[in-house]
Structure 1
Amino acid sequence: MHHPLTLLATLGTATVALGGCAPAGEVTDGRGQPVYEGVSTILLDEGLVSLTVAMRGTKDRGDVEAYGRCAAAQYALDEGYGFARQVRTIVKKDGQTWVGDAVYLLSTSLPEGLHTIDTEQAVTDCATLGIPTV
Structure 2
Amino acid sequence: MTRPVPLLALLAGLSAGLSACAETPAPEAPAEPVYIGSNAAAMGGDLHGFIVTMEGGREAEDMDAYVECVVAGYALEKKQGFARKVRTYVRQEGGVWIADAVYTISPTLPRGLKTIDAEVAVADCAERGIPTV
Bucket of the pairwise TM-score, normalised by the shorter protein: 0.7 to 0.9
CA distance in 1, matches of 2:46, 2:77: 12
For the Cα contact (< 8 Å) 1:83–1:119, is it kept in 2? yes
For the Cα contact (< 8 Å) 1:27–1:96, is it kept in 2? no
Percent identical across equivalent pairs? 46
**1:80 equivalent in structure 2:** 79
Counting only pairs closer than 5 Å after superposition, residues 1-134 of structure 1 correspond to structure 2 as: 25=28, 27-28=30-31, 33-134=32-133
The amino acid across from 1:49 in the alignment is H
Q: TM-score, normalised by structure 2?
A: 0.76
CA distance in 1, matches of 2:44, 2:29: 38
Q: Which has the higher contact order (CA 8 A, sep 6+)?
A: 1
CA distance in 1, matches of 2:28, 2:63: 18
5+ residue gaps, structure 1, are 1-23
CA distance in 2, matches of 1:76, 1:69: 10
Aligned length: 107
CA distance in 2, matches of 1:89, 1:53: 10
2:75 counterpart SS class = helix
Q: TM-score, normalised by structure 1?
A: 0.76
What value does the CA root-mean-square deviation take over the aligned residues?
A: 1.3
1:92 counterpart SS class = strand
CA distance in 2, matches of 1:83, 1:118: 5
Q: Which structure has the bigger radius of gyration?
A: 2
For the Cα contact (< 8 Å) 1:52–1:100, is it kept in 2? yes
For the Cα contact (< 8 Å) 1:76–1:82, is it kept in 2? yes
The Cα shift of 1:27 comes to 4.9
The ranges of structure 1 where at least 4 consecutive aligned residues each deviate by more than 3 angstroms after the TM superposition are 24-27
Quick one: structure 1 residues 26 and 99, their matched pair in 2 at CA, closer, same or farther if it must change by over 3 Å? Answer: farther
The Cα shift of 1:57 comes to 1.1
**2:23 equivalent in structure 1:** none
Deviations 1:4-30 (A, max 9, x none): xxxxxxxxxxxxxxxxxxxx64952xx
5+ residue gaps, structure 2, are 1-26
The Cα shift of 1:42 comes to 1.1
